[in-house]
């Protein structure tokens, strides 16, 4: 049977450059490796075929000879300087080193790092903190209680009773890894005896049961700066879970949620306050007193003839920007309120007022004039 074209084997075109060839080989090698295809009897042969093709195409001189003479370049000493695939197996270790880490990175976690897992950093923790809008305005000092894992005081974090030192794991000799032969490779895996620690505790601490850590609630004082918003994250370095076997502690991340306010609505550094006013006040104008987020009061003048939705700005009465980059404004929005449950006399007065105010409603007059023109055009 004729030998398959090397470019076809790797799934690349004849004009592919070195980077494309290498990428295609990596993909093929991971796809066809025998350890990943135990149910495919042809996987090993296809894997060797891909390796043979890459061994030739990755070398510029061999590739040039193959492009000119095809497979004949490596038969009977013709071209290639006798450096062909050597019976289809080639320099397997050299070729496959390009994808070794891709295939076994998840099992080995890198090479040559024996025992490095002995000290492990503690986990980071998250704490969700809800604050009032007025507290977000002024800033505050807040004491929180966080459930966490702290270093065991009885064994000083070693996990061994009486403060004795853990012993070197006999299975991995303290490396935290064990090696196993798989076909062409020697593969490292996490030691099953010590779970990668490199050490074992023969006499576990009775308090922490050999873990070196105990569960405990910890009280912390947190500074909440003025101007925080929902989603603001505060990091407390080293206040997370204690590390394993002397490793550093993780961090504590506090995520802020600012509660909705019954009076103010926030948009960044600006505040909005919707204030109801009577028809008379909106028509005649006047003054109203409004609250501010700092607990104070401000008087706002309502212009004569104000409509619902009109806004007035109070400069500097909004929220402070986080880290002191200025202060926002407060916007007062008028909501002209229609009176309800009128007495007979009030109805009488309103009817009389309505009769006398046809020329005092410019928006209404304009709207109905447009409606009349629309209907007249439809009739035409």
User: Does 112 score more than 70 pLDDT?
Assistant: no
What mean pLDDT is reported for the chain? 81
Q: Tell whether the torsion through CA atoms of 191, 212, 117 and 168 is positive or negative.
A: negative
pLDDT > 90: percent of the chain: 32
User: Does 38 score more than 50 pLDDT?
Assistant: yes
Distance in angstroms (rounded) separating the CA atoms of residues 374 and 224: 60
User: Does 321 score more than 70 pLDDT?
Assistant: yes
pLDDT recorded at residue 49: 86
User: Does 207 score more than 80 pLDDT?
Assistant: yes
Helix, strand, coil distribution of the chain in percent, nearest 5: 35, 25, 40
User: Does 79 score more than 70 pLDDT?
Assistant: no
Decide if 125-166+201-258 and 264-337 have a common fold.
yes
Distance in angstroms (rounded) separating the CA atoms of residues 184 and 181: 8
* Residue boundaries of the structural domains of the chain: 6-108, 125-166+201-258, 264-337, 344-379
User: Does 90 score more than 70 pLDDT?
Assistant: no
pLDDT recorded at residue 91: 45
User: Does 313 score more than 60 pLDDT?
Assistant: yes
pLDDT recorded at residue 92: 46
Mean pLDDT of 230-237: 93
Instruction: Give the pLDDT band of residue 66 (cuts 50, 70, 90).
Output: confident
Q: Which CATH superfamily is domain 6-108 in?
A: DnaJ domain (1.10.287.110)
Q: Is 155 annotated as a binding residue?
A: yes
Q: Of the ranges 39-43, 99-103, 345-349, which is most confident?
A: 345-349
At 162, give phi and psi (nearest 5°). 70, 15
Report the CATH number of the 125-166+201-258 domain. 2.60.260.20
Q: Is 152 annotated as a binding residue?
A: yes
Q: Is 273 annotated as a binding residue?
A: no
Out of 12-26, 101-115, 152-166, least confident range: 101-115
CATH topology assigned to domain 264-337: HSP40/DNAj peptide-binding domain (2.60.260)
Out of 18-22, 92-96, 342-346, least confident range: 92-96
| Tokens found for residue 4 | 């398959």
Instruction: Give the pLDDT band of residue 75 (cuts 50, 70, 90).
Output: low
Span 278-311, pLDDT tens digits: 988 998 999 999 999 999 999 999 999 899 999 9
Instruction: Give the pLDDT band of residue 105 (cuts 50, 70, 90).
Output: very low
Mean pLDDT of 201-220: 82
pLDDT recorded at residue 196: 75
Span 234-271, pLDDT tens digits: 999 999 988 876 678 899 999 999 999 999 999 999 99
pLDDT recorded at residue 110: 41
Sequence-separated (6 or more) residues with CB below 8 Å from residue 376: none
The pTM is what? Answer: 0.56
The more confident residue out of 50 and 186 is 50
Mean pLDDT of 179-194: 75
- String of b and e for 9-31 (b: at least 16 CB within 10 Å)? bbebeeebeeeebbebbbebbee
């Amino acid at each position: 049977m004729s030998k398959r074209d090397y470019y076809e084997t790797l799934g690349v075109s004849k004009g592919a450059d070195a980077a494309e060839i290498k990428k295609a080989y990596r993909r093929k090698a991971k796809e066809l490796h025998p350890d990943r295809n135990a149910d495919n009897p042809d996987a090993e042969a296809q894997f060797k075929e891909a390796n043979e093709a890459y061994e030739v195409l990755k070398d510029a001189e061999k590739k040039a000879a193959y492009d000119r003479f095809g497979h004949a370049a490596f038969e009977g000493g013709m071209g290639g300087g006798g450096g062909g695939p050597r019976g289809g197996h080639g320099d397997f270790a050299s070729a496959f080193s390009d994808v070794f880490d891709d295939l076994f990175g998840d099992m080995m976690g890198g090479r040559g790092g024996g025992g490095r897992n002995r000290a492990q950093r503690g986990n980071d923790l998250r704490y969700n903190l809800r604050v009032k809008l007025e507290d977000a305005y002024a800033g505050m000092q807040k004491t929180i209680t966080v459930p966490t894992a702290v270093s065991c005081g009885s064994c000083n974090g070693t996990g061994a009773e009486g403060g004795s030192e853990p012993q070197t794991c006999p299975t991995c000799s303290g490396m935290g890894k064990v090696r196993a032969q798989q076909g062409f490779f020697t593969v490292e895996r996490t030691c099953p005896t010590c779970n990668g620690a490199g050490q074992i505790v023969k006499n576990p601490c009775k308090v922490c049961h050999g873990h070196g850590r105990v569960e405990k609630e910890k009280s912390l004082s947190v500074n909440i700066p003025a101007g925080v918003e929902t989603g603001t994250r505060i990091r407390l370095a080293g206040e997370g879970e204690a590390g394993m076997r002397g490793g550093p502690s993780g961090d504590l991340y506090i995520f802020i949620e600012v509660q909705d306010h019954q009076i103010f609505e926030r948009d960044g550094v600006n505040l909005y306050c919707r204030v109801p006013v009577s028809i008379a006040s909106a028509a005649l104008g006047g003054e109203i007193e409004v609250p501010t987020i700092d607990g104070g009061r401000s008087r706002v003048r309502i212009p004569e003839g104000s409509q619902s939705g009109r806004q007035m700005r109070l400069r500097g009465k909004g929220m402070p920007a986080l880290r002191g980059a200025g202060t926002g404004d407060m916007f007062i929005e008028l909501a002209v309120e229609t009176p309800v449950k009128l007495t007979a006399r009030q109805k009488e007065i309103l009817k009389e007022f309505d009769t006398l105010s046809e020329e005092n409603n410019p928006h209404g007059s304009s709207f109905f004039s447009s409606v009349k023109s629309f209907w007249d055009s439809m009739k035409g």
